Structure 1
Amino acid sequence: MKQLQKHYPHLLAIIGFIVISLVYFYPIIQGKKIYQSDIAKYTGMAKEQIDFRAENHTEPYWTNSSFGGMPTYQAGANYPNDYIGMLDNAIRFLPRPADYLFLYFLGFYVLMLVFRVDPLKAFFGALAFGLSTYLIVILGVGHNAKAHAIGYMPFVVAGFILVFRKRYLLGGILTMLAVALEITANHFQMTYYLLLLLIVMGFFFVYQLYKEKNLKSLPKILGTFAVGIILAVGVNATSLMATKEYTDFSTRGKSELTFNTDGTKKEANIAMDRSYITEYSYGIVESLNLFAPRLFGGGNNEKLTEDSHVYNFMLNYGASPEEAHQLTDNYAVTYWGDQPQVAAPAYIGAVVFFLFVLALYHDERKIKYAFLAGAIFSLLLSWGKNLSILTDFFIDYVPMYDKFRAVSSIQVLLELCVPVLAIMGLQSFFTNDENRWKSLWKTSATTLGIIVLLFLCKGMFHFVGEIDSQLIEALKQHPDKSFGPQFIEALKDDRRDLYSADLLRSGFLITITFGALYLYIKNKLAANTAVILVGVFMVCDLFFVDKNYLSNDGQQFRSAQEVAVPYQPTQADSLILQDTTNYRVYEVAGGIYSPRSSYFHKSIGGYSAVMPRRFKEVYEYQIQKSIADLGSIIDPKTLSITKSLSVLNAFNIKYLIVGTEKGDIPIVNPFYNGNAWFVKDVYFEKSSDDEIKVLGQIDSKYVAVTQDRNWSKLGKPRKYLTDSLATIKLDLYKPNHLIYTSNSAGDGFAVFSEIYYKNGWKATIDGKESAIFRVDYTLRGMQIPKGKHTIEFKFEPQVVKTGSTIVLFSSIIMLLVIIGGVYFDRKRIQNSSS
């Protein structure tokens, strides 16, 4: 009974998290599902593997429906012996996206318990963390893996702190499980950022050990971490090994090309272009929207009301109310920050900010400096190109930093550290009565002083966004040439109003929070009443801001069927699907960044942040250029292709989907090469630069190009004798299993319109293994002896087999460690109580 009473508050907190998670996304209770744009795109490109899994009850580990072909390692592949994944599913038992919201709450609550925060304050702190605007918005757009990884961050930090507190068994087990679950989330950018935070915090803890003259405990601490991390990595071995293998093949690997598409020299020392890495950099002053959400206009899709300057400007200009609404909604972009586009501001809450400052003044625990350092570190790196001296150093010298883009997202560390400090401040205010009033008025003076200063500095801001020039260009069609500039002036007035309104809003929230704590000091409010009031202010503040960017309306939540089947076939798709042969489709309007066509066809488009690097380069350097002027290759009368495009032909693109005034139409490419073909010549080039340049000059139907380093492996002359009767055709297609039949009078060299991937694909000719060569920069080539032969390709990745074995043994050892740890910890407690 005593144990039940002891854990009763925690049980209530967990039940509260479940209820709030479900109520927050209440349409899921009605059977609806959240429509997430990124997940719809993922569904498009993953359709082939999902269908294969359902039909064959096994994983293909390869798909041909996107980018011409790629492994599914970063596209939702399921691996054998994934027991940690089963644990993850058990924790996230609620329907999506309530499962991620619950995970946010639970993780932060556990971290607060490590700080010995009482359940009530920990409960409100967890709600404030989980409702941080950025964390909610990523659920709306479908950044599920990111949300997943963020949800486990507090667990990892909690275990980390416990180990440094010398709670080796409990801390070690928590760290081990938390790191394992963090890796399972499969968002390595977030996990990498978490590692950076732990390094920053590690310096603090080691310094504390040094001050306490207790460095002798460091080997035991490091040993505990080593065991936990090794096992955490072990139970995720398959995923990690497969990702490591695929990374160099993907856009996160370093390119062998030394020039850009425009001919300029490429940076050779980083995985991705510096401009691409730092494209989303937080503005230095823009960071102030952490405590005043629309200081820089909010998000790109912010909606103005009928009281806005833009709306009234349109009415005064003679527009009808409907026209005024339409133009305001379509053109009145209020965001004027430094980033290309923003779904919502990274708002952590005015009350959270107030309590954060309170912690700096009032909390006497030195650990606050570790979290403060983590927050500042995160903020500085989020500025990206706006603080290039620091960002360039990390890109050039810090391992793996150049493999991640959107540097502004490192602010997730700040969004963890600041709420931790806020709840530390709230807790210390009620437990430490020394200098309580002094800390409170200093906090109020600091936070309200910032608000007042920003009001005074309002005239220093120009309220002009990068989008404004585009808006003026779009509005040039209006007969009155002054219309565009006047519209922008009205829009700037609305931005000024948002700036002032949100400063007043934050100032009001800070004032009433101060009032509640002041009344507690004066014994006008009981402690729990004051905590509840502050907690309600804090949560309601975030709740109402969040609802501006993620609502429960019909746009965001739809029927389960609509979410499961996000794309409907167009007339063009239906016509193409009548062709039951094996071919690829290129949807011109979407390029390679549209996964819609992948849902219905084998496509060269798709949706992935880690698409095959060589294919992307072929697209950008050759395909994109070759079809830049569609009018030159398509007869407008017959709607037929009049010019052979060698690179398109090599990718077996039989159909192009082209947009017209009458809608999308399919155009047959009569020049496509088919699934495989014999070539007459093989050109050998010295470098990747030469290979990709020549690729646009050859006729891929008759000539293949490769690099000199393959010459010794080929051991054959450059020219091959082919006859008009030589054939090679595809007899069986599965994404991971292809069978061809060839027949030729002489030895030949065949090119297969399949993406070359050196790991996992095995080829046999009449059952005897044969070498596969990379040709045409991305495709497969093989030497085929004369006569009739059966050629078979199978994708059987060794990395999955090896990784699954490691996972099995690591899982067994992890289970034994947990059982042993629980046993010895209970024994320790019994001994200490006797």
Structure 2
Amino acid sequence: MSIKNPHLQDVALLLIFPVIFLFFLWGPLIEGNALYFRDLQIFFIPMKAFLAEWLSNGVLPFWDAGKFMGVPYFADIQTGVLYPLSWLLLIADGNHGIGLLIYCHLLLASVGFYLFIRRLGLSAIAAFAGGLVYTLGGVMVSSFNMINVVQGLSWLPWILWAFLRLVQLPTPRNWVIAVICIALQVYAGWVDASMMTGLAVVWLLLSQRPNLEQVGFLRMVGLVASAYFCALLLAAPQLIATFELFQYSVRTGGLPDSEIAGYMLGLDGLSSLLFPPALDALDWEILEAFPDGYVPLFLSLYVGWSALALIMAAICLCHRQAIWWLSLGVLGLFLAAGENLSASFYLHKMVGIFRYPEKYVVLFHLSLAIVTAFGCHHLARNCDWRNFASVLLVIAMGCELYYYNDKINLLQDADYYDLEQLTDIQHITANEGRIYSRNVYQEDVTSVRDLYLNYRNDLTPFTANLVGLNYVLGTAGLMHRSHREIIDLLQPLPPSQLLAMRLAFFDVRYLASNDIAFKEDKSWRSLARPFGNRLWDIGTQKSDLYFPTQVVPRQGLSPRFFSMERAVITGQKALVETDKQADGLSGQVLHTERLTPNNMRVEVETSNNSLLVWSESHYPGWQVLVDGTAVSLEKVNYFFMGVWIPPGRHEVEFKFVPTGFIASSVLAVFVLILLIILALANIRTFPSRRAIFSS
């Protein structure tokens, strides 16, 4: 029996989404199985574990001491420290937490897309069909390995819904809703999503231009622009910290042409992405790419044959709105396929700070979902049997998407991320360190699952970026091939043992054998050659805090002079003129305590004015207090922090708060309060253009 009440129809269809997603994510969400492919296992799992650990202790982690010599954690927008849904990680931990995070965002995306399609005036079954395609289509599911992508895409339909609502009823309350949705997408942690959403909003406004005669198109553009401006103010704490980190990134000068081209979508492979995902090594050409350290993204555009039938129906009917939204998908393909399109490639060179131009297929995915809804709506309109046929087609679509795209989710047992079982160690020599290794890859790899299992067991070069090593195994430093500053300082050094000593001095413990340091060091390269891609443990690091016996100015010194006995004040002359032979600097570290990632407390004793060096990265936002009084922080040995300690016994505290965080947080709270007042105020609509001029 059909449901005649439209509101009951909406409720009934919306309640189907959580059931479908429950079965789709049953492994990680209910059984605690591990999603394990690509960035998820080497980056996001440990990142979220770190966040969950400190959020559960009531601490906002601003700093991560486990990567390199310490790096800003909050400033990396992907961490989502201030993103409200990150608190879901406190409800469930480990694999369950990741499953819950993805589940809730799929649910969020489906409801947002459903409301958007219904706001367009389409039927409930059409909105449901579009929601299925958007949430279970290839682009969304193949993005599970990058949680921030799923988070960002989940807010895209909500922003479209909010602006469409604003177009239809331009009230302050609807404007505030749009502002909140935009800000939440920014905090979700995928900048590209905000850019793509902006393009989709432009498409939405242009499609609604005939309906804006009374409101005024330019006035609506002003409301949209002001909404984005206020949203940026709400997200200021995150954006300011991220922009500062970007200034220290190698991407400040843009990406090389080769890297831009390497992450663009080849036109020759576009057609294959529209078919059901073929998860075998041959189809994905993994065997050729994998030895070089590149693991495919598993990008898929598959939306199901049923959805394609509805899309073709909408195109054949020449529906104006459907064709318009399909043109947005064409734009997405143009932006994604710049490797073969010079105009698109040039465009990405101008804004080449994001690694994945191919992800602009999100616009294509969005357009397919919207056009699917249009096709379903017109198939079911004004005819009972066609309505029944559309329902059957939507059911078939759901089954297709579930069956094929569920295969993209690579699952392992719950203990998959227990890295303790990966500590098989082969000693090279007592002095040369050691490498983590397993048996070589299987000669006959028959499936992607087999290949990824070997990938994890073999600890490929990507493990050099595995922040989880620190949290699970208690390491304190990683070397990464993009850390060019360290490499530049190490180049003039002699090879082998001395290089290992210098790496240890820079707090680097693990080094991937495909790193630049290996490639530029003949001795190390010859050692690594028989073992291929491995993760090397170069030995024990030096003490975190120490007093050098000699402090010298920077001029004329290369990194070969750095040691625990000698400190170089970077950027200025030494504050204390010392005799290189006998300077008399001395001090003793009595006690250290690190309660959170954001601070370090030290108790020291010195007999004279001495320099305390801490081998943590010198970065804006660090402050130091000696006996509760703020003092100047020195930059020592290019990277480290140092503070001058007067004679006697003292308590020293290093504290890290991102630059401008307090001020920007106050601003964001102030803007939020104003938005709440505006939303609650009894203002039915913004003054019209005619009313403004007549007054």
**TM-score, length of structure 1 as denominator length:** 0.64
Aligned partner of 1:617 among 478, 484, 490: 484
Q: Give runs of aligned pairs for residues 291-330 of structure 1, distance below 5 A.
A: 291-293=274-276, 298-299=278-279, 301=281
Q: Residue type matched to 1:803 in 2?
A: S
Match of 1:458 in 2: none
**1:595 positional shift:** 2.7
Identity %: 18
Contact in 2 for aligned 1:45/1:65 (Cα 8 Å): no
Counting matched residue pairs gives 622
Is the aligned partner of 1:773 residue 2:634?
yes
Report the equivalent of 1:647: 502
Aligned to 1:156: 159
What TM-score, normalized to structure 2?
Answer: 0.76
> Aligned residue for 1:134?
139
Alpha-carbon separation, structure 1, partners of 2:491 and 2:306: 50
Q: What does residue 684 of structure 1 align with? A: 554
SS of the aligned residue for 1:287 comes to helix
CA contact (8 A) 1:572 1:664 kept: no
Structure 2 match to 1:545:
404
Structure 2 Cα separation of the partners of residues 333 and 26 of structure 1: 33
**Alignment partner, residue 193 of structure 1:** 196
Displacement of 1:526 in angstroms is 0.7
Residue 737 (structure 1) shift? 2.4
Bigger Cα Rg:
1
Cα offset, 1:412, TM superposition: 0.8
Unaligned stretches of 5+ residues in structure 1? 255-269, 305-329, 433-519, 576-583, 634-642, 826-834
1:720·1:747 contact (CA, 8 Å) conserved in 2?
A: no
Q: Select between 122-131 and 810-819 the one with higher mean Cα deviation.
A: 810-819
Shift of 1:17: 0.8
Q: C-alpha displacement at 1:788, in angstroms?
A: 5.3
CA contact (8 A) 2:603 2:652 kept: yes
8 Å CA contact 1:706, 1:776 repeated in 2:
yes
Cα distance, 1:70 vs. partner?
1.7
**What is the letter of the counterpart of residue 374 of structure 2?**
M
Whether 2:224 is the aligned partner of 1:225: answer: yes
Deviation at 1:359, TM superposition (A): 2.7
Aligned to 1:382: 336
Q: Distance between the aligned counterparts of 1:227 and 1:406, measured in 2?
A: 29
1:243 aligns with 2:242: yes
For residues 164 and 506 of structure 2, the distance between their equivalents in structure 1, rounded to whole angstroms, comes to 53
> Is 1:63 aligned to residue 46 of structure 2?
no
- SS of the residue aligned with 1:424? helix
> Which of 660, 664, 678 is the aligned partner of 1:817?
678
The alignment status of 1:278 with 2:261, answered yes or no, reads yes
Instruction: Indicate which of 310, 314, 320 corresponds to 1:355.
Output: 310
d(CA) in 2 for partners of 1:780, 1:532: 65
Q: 2:184 maps to what in 1?
A: 181
Q: 1:668 to 1:527 in 2, by over 3 A?
A: closer
Q: How does 1:69-218 map to 2 (within 5 A)?
A: 69-73=70-74, 74=76, 76=79, 78-79=81-82, 95-139=100-144, 141=145, 143-165=146-168, 167-168=170-171, 171-199=174-202, 201-202=204-205, 214=213, 217-218=216-217
Deviations 1:352-403 (A, max 9, x none): 33433433342443x445423321111011113322432223322xxxx322
Picking from 700, 723, 731, the partner of 2:563 is 700
Contact kept in structure 1, 2:113 and 2:131, CA below 8 Å: yes
Equivalent-residue separation in structure 2 for 1:331 and 1:402 (angstroms): 26
Residues 124 and 407 from structure 1, CA distance in 2 versus in 1: closer, same or farther, beyond 3 angstroms? same
Q: Do the aligned partners of 2:601 and 2:653 also contact (CA within 8 Å) in 1?
A: yes
Q: Which one-letter code corresponds to 2:505 in the other structure? A: A
**Where does residue 447 of structure 1 map in the other structure?**
none
Residues in 1 aligned to 2:552 and 2:22: alpha-carbon distance in whole angstroms: 62
Q: Quote the Cα distance in structure 2 between the aligned partners of 1:353 and 1:536.
A: 14
| Cα shift at 1:10 | 0.9
The one-letter amino acid of 2:238's match is: S
Distance (whole Å) between structure 2 residues aligned to residue 597 and residue 747 of structure 1: 38
Alpha-carbon deviations, 1:715-770, whole Å to 9, x = none? Answer: 665876755772342622313222345555654545321111112x1113344322
The code of the aligned residue for 1:217 comes to: G
CA contact (8 A) 1:113 1:119 kept: yes
Give yes or no for the alignment of 1:44 onto 2:49. Answer: no
Q: In 1, distance between residues paired with 2:35 and 2:684? A: 47
Could you tell me which residue of structure 1 aligns to residue 371 of structure 2? 421
2: CA distance between counterparts of 1:603 and 1:797? Answer: 22
Could you say which residue in structure 1 is the equivalent of 2:17? 17
TM-superposed deviation, 1:302: 6.3
- Indicate if the aligned counterparts of 1:587 and 1:656 stay in contact, CA closer than 8 A: no
Note the aligned Cα RMSD (angstroms): 4.4
Question: Counterparts in 2 of 1:518-533, with a 5 A limit?
Answer: 526-533=385-392
Counterpart code for 2:73: T
Contact kept in structure 1, 2:286 and 2:295, CA below 8 Å: no
Q: Is contact 2:137-2:303 (8 Å) kept?
A: yes
Q: How far, CA to CA, are the matches of 1:46 and 1:26 in structure 2?
A: 20
Matched-pair contact (CA < 8 Å) for 1:765–1:789: yes
Name 1:597's counterpart in structure 2. Answer: 469
Measured against aligned partners, the alpha-carbon deviations of 1:684-712 in whole angstroms (never above 9, x if no partner) come to 36xxxx99xx33x33333554565xx328
CA contact (8 A) 1:362 1:429 kept: no
Contact preservation (8 Å) 2:234, 2:667: yes
Q: In structure 1, how many angstroms separate the alpha carbons of the residues matched to 2:89 and 2:185?
A: 9
SS of 1:278's equivalent in the other structure is helix
Deviation at 1:201, TM superposition (A): 4.9
**What CA distance in whole angstroms lies between the structure 1 residues aligned with 2:591 and 2:4?**
66
- Cα distance in 1 for residues equivalent to 2:492 and 2:138: 41
In structure 2, the residue matched to 1:406 is 356
Q: 2: CA distance between counterparts of 1:775 and 1:725?
A: 16
Q: Is the 8 A contact 1:359 1:424 kept in 2?
A: yes
| Corresponding residue for residue 793 of structure 1 | 654
1:757 is aligned to 619
Shift of the 425–568 alpha-carbon distance from structure 1 to 2, 3 Å rule, reads: same
Alpha-carbon spacing, 1:225–1:236, altered in 2? closer, same or farther (3 Å): same
Q: 1 CA distance for matches of 2:376 and 2:247?
A: 47
**Partner letter of residue 355 of structure 1?**
L
Give the deviation of 1:49 after TM superposition. Answer: 5.9
- Any unmatched runs of 5+ in structure 2? 92-96, 428-432, 438-458, 514-527, 686-695
Please tell me the residue identity of whatever aligns with 1:598. Answer: N
Q: Distance in 2 between matches of 1:534 and 1:624?
A: 63
CA deviation after TM superposition for structure 1 residue 131, in Å: 1.6
- The AA in structure 2 aligned to 1:605 is L
Q: CA deviation at 1:40?
A: 4.2
Post-superposition shift, 1:805? Answer: 2.6
Cα 1:566–1:814 change in 2 (3 A) is farther
Q: Is the 8 A contact 2:434 2:536 kept in 1?
A: no
Secondary structure at 2:420 match in 1: coil
Q: Shift of the alpha carbon at 1:669?
A: 4.5
Q: In structure 2, what is the Cα distance between the partners aligned to 1:809 and 1:566?
A: 44
1:639 corresponding residue in structure 2: none
Alignment of 1:484-523 (within 5 A): none
Contact 1:730-1:738 at 8 Å conserved across structures: no
Query: Following the alignment from structure 2 to structure 1, what is the Cα–Cα distance between the partners of residues 484 and 561?
Result: 17
One-letter code aligned to 1:415: H
Partner of 1:35: 35
Per-residue CA deviation, residues 424-472 of structure 1 (Å, 9 max, x unaligned), is 233235549xxxxxxxxxxxxxxxxxxxxxxxxxxxxxxxxxxxxxxxx
Note closer, same or farther for the CA distance 1:626–1:543 as it changes in structure 2 (3 Å cut): farther
Q: Which moved more, 1:41-50 or 1:186-195?
A: 41-50
Q: Contact conserved, 2:585 with 2:610, CA < 8 A, in 1?
A: no
Query: Given that residues 237 and 807 in structure 1 are in contact (C-alpha distance below 8 angstroms), is that contact kept between their aligned partners in structure 2?
Result: yes
